[in-house]
Structure 1
Amino acid sequence: MLLTPGPTPIHPKAMRALMRGMLGHMDPEVFALNREIQQDLRVMYGTEPEAFTALLAGTGSLGMEAGFANLVEAGDEVLVCANGSFGRRMAEMAARYGARVRLVTAPLGEAINPADVAAHLDGVNMVAVVHGETSTGVLNPVPEIAELVRGSGALLTVDAVTTAGMEPFHMQDWGVDYAYTGAQKCLSAPPGLAPIAVSERAFARFAARRSPTPLWYCDLEGLRDYWVDHTYHHTVPVNLHFAFHAALRAALDEGLERRQRRVRAMGQVIERTLAPLGFSHYVRRPEDRLPTVLALRLPEGFDDAGVRKALREREISVTGGLGPTAGVIWRLGLMGESARPAPYRALMVALQDLLGEPGLVRRYEEALGALMPEETQPALA
């Protein structure tokens, strides 16, 4: 049972689609499927009507790298917002493509200050920011940052790995030029695909490159040849496309706003249940907390490794801190199918036994009844 910041449990419809018979990647049925995926991605990301959307055959890190490979050239000034592991990864990737990287930072557990971004925008070609910093459970203020960037002439790249499909994301309205996520995060599809969206402004910047794209595999022109003109570029993982299509359609059918309410309610249920044990928010300011990755500071004296090992023996996977936060926090995934009452009820049952805390499950059920009454009966049946 995965209660981690990714991957998430595969949606049942995606699982069924994954098991269908194989088709060729140039089959007309696959091209028709891809057109539906592209349109659904435009809805999920909130793009302009003709924005280019596609699936890269790789995980979210490939989505990150493809943005820098296509839109950054040697000598470009790139401003990276880094307040966790994945912001730092952005900076490393941009530097490898020859960018002169400027960093705007914030302490772990705190969001990027838009005023710090504004102070470093002069002469910048691109601004890159992680919307939801998975390593610390911080939600960065992308709308405010985007408003500042809009008047500067710089492109805006956003890592939406733990937000797209579960949190508000309005690419066109905000002025985001390149966005990406991972299939295995908020959409609960199998790992191996990176859904991307590219604005028309970003494509114009790409077309004006002074040198060829160094990363052939994810060259935007080659990708567009396959996704739009249906000419051969590389063999796409067809069954992953079918599974992703099913998961994305399930998310849109549920409704993005309803999913946003669901994840917030589940977070409150878990907080209310664990607070009496000494768990507390790692991210101090409520507006900076990422709903899809609940970062909880562990109680004093809590045996982090021992409890997680005991949970793993019961087939429940919980993720601890990363780097400096190892042994300090738990990062509980609330994306896609993990943001449901049943998986977390199983966690509470296990913790009640392991920690000798009678009443933990009852407190969980009471919180569910108060905060998610429509989910209570299916969860407790």
Structure 2
Amino acid sequence: MPVDLPGLLSPRPHLLLTPGPTPLHPRAQEALGRELLGHMDPEVFALNREIQQDLRAMYGAAPGTFTALLAGTGSLGMEAGFANLVEPGDEVLVCVNGAFGARMAEMAARYGARVRQVAAPHGEAIRPEDVAAQLGGVSLVALVHGETSTGVLNPLGQIAKLVRESGALLTVDAVTTAGMEPFHMAEWGIDYVYTGAQKCLSAPPGVAPVAISDRALARQAARRTPTPLWYCDFSGLRDYWERQAYHHTVPVHLHYALHAALRAALEEGLPARRARVAALGRALLSALAPLGFTPYVPDPAARLPTVLALRLPPGLDDAATRQALRAREISITGGLGPTAGLIWRLGLMGEAARPAPYRRLLHELEDLLAAPGLCGRFDEALAPLPA
């Protein structure tokens, strides 16, 4: 009996306008059709070297910085940092102003850390002065750069300076920032950073690009106890990525696709990608504001450009509206945890951050909400940006 897969035979492609995954870049889609090679094949190792070099460019890392793809999503990137850099009893400071900062705190505790938290309310950024007050005796600080759950951009540059002066290591979740705007690992003094392929790069989910500083590698090498997560032990990863020795079977087709999408992002240029995201976000807000949608994050400087978090207008039925959009082959995401039913989170990453997909969303909202004029306001605000 044939299986009915939604969208498979749809006359229109299903639109993913969520905070992840994002629509595949055409070059990533094409790369998935390549002939499979073994993970120890010389051509795959050559491809991996190009990926490593491109990841250094994306992260703004120093020449020679160790970069790699973990065979898992961004959450594996998060866990690998704690597994390698935390030992039982270590003092770890975690910045928490949303679901993913809270996940960092939970992971660090599971690896035996004595976790301190610097918190900020949902919708507000972590304050550097609060971090500074908690740095005494800390061996590692963990921060989410762009908190996907609330649409908040934390002041990474300022916090990184304080952490570096303290001597602690800094691990950063760049899941909704790296690959969509310039990132400055070397300049900021970041020791470990990760993202997910399916976010800003518009590659398939399943690999997590990471960059690891020499300081972090030295800390891991000096551990008193073995790294408890064998799969992502930094030493084992380096065996495969640097010494071309067998460690585990990597997902070769996902390497193909990530390589294609990452190269496309760098060819477009990270400043250009940042500019189109900013323009698209402004245009969406211009279109939706007359209906009563307002920014969830009150401080413009703390708004995450790649996840537009909008407070819903009074009376709008969140679940029913998103369900109606889903029936029209459009997926958007509501709030998470405390913000469920209160906000929408629109993903402005990678191939989702284009006018055409959002023009289609607004066209459908004009009908569903009986709100003519959305597309007109959007196009007027977006006039300088190419499709």
Q: TM-score range by the shorter chain?
A: over 0.9
Give the distance between the partners of 1:158 and 1:144, measured in 2 at CA. 13
Matched with 1:58 is 72
Matched with 1:338 is 352
Q: Structure 2: which amino acid aligns with 1:91?
A: A
Matched with 1:311 is 325
1:151, CA displacement in angstroms? Answer: 1.1
Are 1:268 and 2:282 matched, yes or no?
A: yes
Where do residues 271-286 of structure 1 align in structure 2 (5 Å cutoff)?
A: 271-286=285-300
Give the distance between the partners of 1:356 and 1:8, measured in 2 at CA. 28
Matched with 2:84 is 70
Are 1:234 and 2:242 matched, yes or no?
A: no
Q: Structure 2: which amino acid aligns with 1:190?
A: P
Are 1:159 and 2:152 matched, yes or no?
A: no
Identify unmatched segments of 5+ residues in structure 1: none
The 8 Å contact of residues 318 and 341 in structure 2, kept in 1 or not, is answered as yes
Give the distance between the partners of 2:374 and 2:129, measured in 1 at CA. 43
Q: What is the total number of aligned residue pairs between the two structures?
A: 373
Give the distance between the partners of 1:32 and 1:168, measured in 2 at CA. 26
1:357, CA displacement in angstroms? Answer: 1.0
Matched with 1:347 is 361
Q: Structure 1: which amino acid aligns with 2:297?
A: V
SS at match of 1:7: coil
Q: Which deviates the most, 6-15 or 354-363? A: 354-363
Give the distance between the partners of 1:37 and 1:54, measured in 2 at CA. 8
Matched with 2:3 is none
The 8 Å contact of residues 276 and 385 in structure 2, kept in 1 or not, is answered as no
Give the distance between the partners of 1:274 and 1:168, measured in 2 at CA. 28
Give the distance between the partners of 1:194 and 1:350, measured in 2 at CA. 34
Normalised by the length of structure 2, the TM-score is 0.96
The 8 Å contact of residues 58 and 182 in structure 2, kept in 1 or not, is answered as no
1:91, CA displacement in angstroms? Answer: 0.2
Give the distance between the partners of 1:66 and 1:152, measured in 2 at CA. 23
Matched with 2:6 is none
- Runs of 4 or more, structure 1, over 2 Å off, are none
Where do residues 125-204 of structure 1 align in structure 2 (5 Å cutoff)?
A: 125-204=139-218
Matched with 2:119 is 105
Match of 2:379 among 365, 372, 375: 365
Give the distance between the partners of 1:333 and 1:224, measured in 2 at CA. 33
1:162-182: CA deviations, max 9, x gaps?
000112310000000000000
Matched with 1:257 is 271
1:94-128: CA deviations, max 9, x gaps?
00000000000000000000000000000000000
Identify unmatched segments of 5+ residues in structure 2: 1-14
Give the distance between the partners of 1:295 and 1:132, measured in 2 at CA. 12
Q: Structure 2: which amino acid aligns with 1:290?
A: L
1:265, CA displacement in angstroms? Answer: 0.5
Normalised by the length of structure 1, the TM-score is 0.97
1:366, CA displacement in angstroms? Answer: 1.3
Matched with 1:244 is 258
The 8 Å contact of residues 91 and 115 in structure 2, kept in 1 or not, is answered as yes
1:71, CA displacement in angstroms? Answer: 0.6
Give the distance between the partners of 1:211 and 1:131, measured in 2 at CA. 30
Give the distance between the partners of 2:249 and 2:329, measured in 1 at CA. 35
Give the distance between the partners of 1:81 and 1:271, measured in 2 at CA. 29
Give the distance between the partners of 1:366 and 1:64, measured in 2 at CA. 41
SS at match of 1:151: helix
Matched with 1:4 is 18
1:2-45: CA deviations, max 9, x gaps?
00000000000000001111100000000000000000000000
1:233, CA displacement in angstroms? Answer: 0.2
Matched with 2:10 is none
1:361, CA displacement in angstroms? Answer: 1.5
The 8 Å contact of residues 279 and 385 in structure 2, kept in 1 or not, is answered as no
1:335, CA displacement in angstroms? Answer: 0.3
Q: Structure 1: which amino acid aligns with 2:37?
A: L
Give the distance between the partners of 1:333 and 1:190, measured in 2 at CA. 16
1:374, CA displacement in angstroms? Answer: 4.0
The 8 Å contact of residues 16 and 331 in structure 2, kept in 1 or not, is answered as yes
Q: Which deviates the most, 118-127 or 354-363? A: 354-363
Q: Which deviates the most, 273-282 or 161-170? A: 161-170
Calculate percent identity across the aligned residue pairs. 75
Where do residues 289-328 of structure 1 align in structure 2 (5 Å cutoff)?
A: 289-328=303-342
SS at match of 2:141: strand
1:197-254: CA deviations, max 9, x gaps?
0001111111110010000000000000000000000000000000000000000000
Matched with 1:14 is 28
1:279-305: CA deviations, max 9, x gaps?
000000000000000000000111111
The 8 Å contact of residues 70 and 207 in structure 2, kept in 1 or not, is answered as yes
Give the distance between the partners of 1:114 and 1:170, measured in 2 at CA. 18
Give the distance between the partners of 1:168 and 1:83, measured in 2 at CA. 23
Q: CA RMSD of the aligned region, Å?
A: 0.6
